[in-house]
Structure 1
Amino acid sequence: MRLSKICTAIATLTLVTTTFTPAAATAATDSVVRPVTACADLVRGFALPGAPTHVTSAAVVAATATDPEYCGVRGYVEPAVRFELRLPTTTYTGRYLQYGCGGFCGLVNPPAFADCLPHGGDFAVAATDDGHVGKTPAVVDDGSWGAHDQAARDDFEFRAPHVVSRASKALIQAFYGAPPRKSYFTGCSDGGREGLLLAQRYPADFDGIDAGAPAHYWGPRLGVYQTWLARANSAADGSPVLTAAKLPALHNAVLAACDRLDGLADGQLDDPRACRFDPATLTCTGADTPACLTPAQVAVVRKLYAPPTDARGTLLYPGGQQPGSELSWAGWIIATPETGGSAFARNLADNYLRYLGYPIGAPASTVDTFAFTKGEFDRLTPVGVRYDAMSLDLSAFQRRGGKLLLWHGWADEAIPPAGTLDYYQRLTHGRPQDWARLFMVPSLYHCGGGTTLTEFDPLRELVSWVERGTAPTRVTATGRDADGTVTRTRPVFAYPQRAVYDGTGSVDDAANFRPAPPSSPVRDVVHWAGERLYGIPGPVAP
């Protein structure tokens, strides 16, 4: 979990309270809030309007080397939104953090505290399964639970994160005698979608939202784009055309062609949009080896780099795979033994088209039968807009002082970064705001992992932004090897600024980089089939 840096932020807030304005000083006070009732007394019902809540268990969990003592609460919001809430007994200072889910969710991931003490338990933390239980072994890419259950769909589409925030705050009030002073949400992928959804539809729920690689174009991403990835690499017999063995040579060729375009040969593409790599340069001239591509494989790579289109060339999604992301295609686009012989993109797309993408009882589709037409795109819209988090009206969230921190990896294999850039350009005209900022992370895969940079954790900066009013201008990304050793740090500046090497010291040290304006004007708006979806509001729960 991405909480390891929060303790540093809290310590900083405490140390500098004397230099703040009175309002900021009040926000930064970290006095411990003690429980006013026994943990076991929380096992009861809470009659919250629109969110009847039942606590099924509550017990004190002893402190460990990394976690404080806490009251571990499990329960559900009717009809079946299961959640886990952890309430520190001796270290809580008034902050609440809720985690988002990934994939189709379907399980409660135990919410983590920060991994350092004594500040590891300043936050009460919670997570939910979004209202259903996924079937094993896949769980998060299982959609069969939604085939005939509209209530489960409602919970996953838009209701669960909101009602869990209400339930958690009611339990915090009951346990500590007061609601949380500040509330935060963090999530990536579907969790990023949930973060945007909360800012758009439930603007009073959270003070700060950290939304990574948001899956906010839900129907187009699941029904169209993941299907495109699966079909692009399928031969007539269903076997993969492009194999994982070809990816290292492909990636190395991309770096050879484009690594220096950002002014530094450092093994990463700071903005892959500048790369004009032609995979035909790798065409085999003799035997088919891992060092070259067959003509059929060249055609697949070109399809993967391109957005899905209909026969007339209309874009059915804002973007495609970015140069530099090639190594991440193994497992997501190309089945591997490590992923059980199946590709995650195909699993997600097929489950969505079979069970979740159309009204219950309406004709469904599959990865192998879906047609890339505007008509089929539109057929996904009535249900898709219920999941979508595409509204450009965040005025209510902004007025109440909410802060939105968006981020995305440039090498994201699951959700092309073009969609986030398109949304951010429409929302802010491409300029950092005092309430909304975007950070684009070179070489980062989907939510984490990568070739040179593997971790990005902006939660510390979000806390500082909300509680000190310090708008983030940079967040440091980290690269680690397989043993966990830090191999690179690099500043990521608020988009559209970029990091430029100052000419001295190691290129693996963030201290040796400065911000610079974009090398060309920002033009991130994409004209595609889903543009009108920005004006369609989604449903809300009470």
Structure 2
Amino acid sequence: MKMKTRLLPLVITPLCITLYGCNSNSSEDNSLPILDAATPATLTLCNTLTEQFNYSDTEIISAELLPEGSVTYSGNVEDGNSVIYPTPAHCLITGAMNERISIADGKPYKIGFEMRLPSDWNGRFYYQANGALDGVLQKAVGRFMISEDLNASALNKGFAVISSDAGHQSPAPMFGLDPQARLDYGYNAVATLTPMAKDLIEKAYGKQPDRSYFAGCSNGGRHTMVASARFADMYDGFLVGNPGFNLPKAAISQMYGIQQYATLVDIDPENVLSSLQSSFTQQEFALISEKVVQQCDALDGASDGMVNDIIGCQDEFDLYRDVPTCAVQRDGTCLTEAQKNVFNNIMSGPHNSKTNEAIYSDFPYDAGMGTNDYYGWEFFMAMMRDPGAVAFVFSTAPTPYNGSTEAGSFEYVNSFDMNTDVEKIYAINETYTESAIDFMTPPDATDLSTLRNRSAKMMVVHGASDAVFSPADTINWYEGLQDANDRNADEFARLYLVPGMNHCGNGLATDRFDMLDKLVAWVEQGMQPQSVEASVRADNAELPSNWSPTRTRPLCPYPQVATYNGTGSIEDAASFSCVAPK
């Protein structure tokens, strides 16, 4: 028995082959007009903005001019440890919009925001879409991914940056009881904040931004994809990371995984999470990755511990054949038959058992599945975050439960019926008039005609070892986008897969790269992005000891594969070329 990844068939017409060949030799896009480049300006107002800026239902709480220095970005569980971003001299502004008392739960709500306006402005606006369930006003440094170069943040590049809590404050996910807070979280906070932010920028600099960019990873990637479909008239460039654009379905998929792991062990109600983790150790995940590498490493011409040909690998690797089956007991070098069945089910994605209809995408096998990040998403996040999102935010009506204990979360997860309860993410009623599928996902993810027709651009990046938002889902979206645009979608949107990378960074990967400059050059100069050079992070303790701490690789526009040229160091991106699949 072999798990087949349900990636859409890769159909490349002669036109598409020609198109990719042309792109590899040309840096200019002549098929769509080029938007004018942004021009710089200098900050003229800051401290007095609290009195001088007036906008409907908006309060500027504080405005302060700060010298060149640094800002501590306090990450949440998803984002990792706090990091320190260097910052230029800038105006720090905090404010709130649409303050109200909810008629649903009697609690106060508002759309909180922070803006940072550099003294020396490049004429561009950057919407920093944050991750997880939002609810926290993250520092507006122009962040994108966990592993980014902190010096390359949008604020440091001269962008005016906004960050928001998406219309609710912690603790999350209880905000899901309020219908308006759901909509603000899904899409309305962006619609509300964007024109206000541009007016505030005009007040501070004397002109509106010439170009506007939207970027985020994880739920921030979802925000970005939603914005690309709903608000393409407001933004010129979209930078998307590991997008959870089908987040309600992906959250259910996470819970399905917990249900599957639970069939392998007896659950101790006092230690639910550790009981579940005993069903599959991190060492056993690493064993699967090791066998994936053995089968697929050489497909790209280099035996380097990385699987660049991700799609080809799905045909080469077989869980049942390639991973040893335990003859007696588990020792980290084998999997039991029951473990293989469970993991095959999880990787195949959740299904309705009555009709065998897929609830969410499947997942590809890759080399980065034995890492801390992967393990954390499979168990801790799936048990302690996703159930709350499904119950409070994505279900109509909300189905509250006691999520403060592991036992309470597990009871909700294990009782969730994949045949009937899934319908709650599609449901509406008199109070909740938009379903989670309506307010959380792009209205039509493959209809980006507004974006395309006004010469806006999109770059999407996804780690091939993402445990929560399937890269196969993103590939299928991109194939659908190509079909909707006569296989010419790469004129305005490109997808880059990162072998071995987990969720928004980390993993056994070259996970450090700067796509923002590439996006700006594409939007404002017509310079088509080809490969993007990526490097490993030397401080990544999980990297294999035989990898150079300076390893680089080209990230290739899908469906091209980074392929070894046959000569040169395998640690150097220059030794690889982006090649169309055979």
TM-score norm. by structure 2 comes to 0.76
Match of 1:427 in 2: 481
Q: Deviations over 1:414-445 (max 9, x none)?
A: 11111111111111226552211111121111
Pairwise CA RMSD? 2.8
Q: Does 1:165 align with 2:208?
A: no
1:486 CA drift (Å): 4.2
Bigger drift between 224-233 and 167-176 goes to 224-233
Match of 2:104 in 1: none
Q: Does 1:304 align with 2:346?
A: yes
Q: Work out which of the residue numbers 407, 418, 421 in structure 2 matches 1:376.
A: 421
User: How many residues get paired?
Assistant: 478
Compared with structure 1, are the counterparts of its residues 118 and 220 closer, same or farther at alpha carbon in structure 2 (3 Å cutoff)? closer
Separation in 1, partners of 2:240, 2:152: 24
Where 2:216 maps in the other structure, the secondary structure is strand
Contact 2:301/2:566 (<8 A) preserved: no
Separation in 2, partners of 1:116, 1:500: 28
Compared with structure 1, are the counterparts of its residues 321 and 332 closer, same or farther at alpha carbon in structure 2 (3 Å cutoff)? farther
Match of 2:442 in 1: 389
Match of 1:530 in 2: none
1:321 CA drift (Å): 4.9
Amino acid at match of 1:76: A
Q: Does 1:257 align with 2:295?
A: yes
Compared with structure 1, are the counterparts of its residues 462 and 362 closer, same or farther at alpha carbon in structure 2 (3 Å cutoff)? same
Match of 1:4 in 2: none
Q: Work out which of the residue numbers 201, 209, 218 in structure 2 matches 1:180.
A: 209
Match of 2:461 in 1: 407
Compared with structure 1, are the counterparts of its residues 201 and 154 closer, same or farther at alpha carbon in structure 2 (3 Å cutoff)? same
Q: Does 1:107 align with 2:143?
A: no
Q: Work out which of the residue numbers 87, 111, 132 in structure 2 matches 1:67.
A: 87
Q: Work out which of the residue numbers 372, 377, 401 in structure 2 matches 1:332.
A: 377
Q: Deviations over 1:60-79 (max 9, x none)?
A: 11112732111100001213
Bigger drift between 428-437 and 96-105 goes to 428-437
Q: Work out which of the residue numbers 317, 322, 341 in structure 2 matches 1:276.
A: 317
Where 1:433 maps in the other structure, the secondary structure is helix
Q: Work out which of the residue numbers 109, 113, 130 in structure 1 matches 2:166.
A: 130
Q: Does 1:83 align with 2:113?
A: yes
Amino acid at match of 1:487: T
Q: Does 1:231 align with 2:259?
A: yes
Where 2:491 maps in the other structure, the secondary structure is coil
Contact 2:232/2:451 (<8 A) preserved: yes
Bigger drift between 55-64 and 350-359 goes to 350-359
Compared with structure 1, are the counterparts of its residues 486 and 24 closer, same or farther at alpha carbon in structure 2 (3 Å cutoff)? farther
Counterparts of residues 508-519 of structure 1 (less than 5 Å): 508-519=571-582
Bigger drift between 507-516 and 226-235 goes to 226-235
Contact 2:494/2:557 (<8 A) preserved: yes
Separation in 2, partners of 1:277, 1:478: 30
Contact 1:454/1:478 (<8 A) preserved: yes
Which residues of structure 1 form unaligned runs of 5+?
1-18, 136-141, 335-342, 520-542
Contact 2:286/2:370 (<8 A) preserved: yes
Where 1:377 maps in the other structure, the secondary structure is helix
Q: Work out which of the residue numbers 37, 42, 45 in structure 1 matches 2:50.
A: 42
Separation in 1, partners of 2:453, 2:478: 18
Where 2:94 maps in the other structure, the secondary structure is strand
Where 2:221 maps in the other structure, the secondary structure is helix
Bigger drift between 251-260 and 412-421 goes to 251-260
Q: Return the structure number with greater relative CO, CA threshold 8 A, min gap 6.
A: 2
Amino acid at match of 1:440: L
Separation in 1, partners of 2:261, 2:392: 23
Counterparts of residues 204-223 of structure 1 (less than 5 Å): 204-222=233-251
TM-score norm. by structure 1 comes to 0.82
Compared with structure 1, are the counterparts of its residues 130 and 500 closer, same or farther at alpha carbon in structure 2 (3 Å cutoff)? same
Bigger drift between 91-100 and 231-240 goes to 231-240
1:258 CA drift (Å): 2.5
Separation in 2, partners of 1:149, 1:473: 44
Which residues of structure 2 form unaligned runs of 5+?
1-27, 71-85, 100-109, 143-149, 402-410, 428-434, 542-547
1:172 CA drift (Å): 0.3
1:362 CA drift (Å): 6.8
1:121 CA drift (Å): 4.8
Q: Deviations over 1:349-401 (max 9, x none)?
A: 2102321122246798931211122x433331132221112512221222222
Separation in 2, partners of 1:431, 1:456: 26
Match of 1:532 in 2: none
Separation in 1, partners of 2:482, 2:510: 27
1:251 CA drift (Å): 2.0
Contact 1:432/1:495 (<8 A) preserved: no
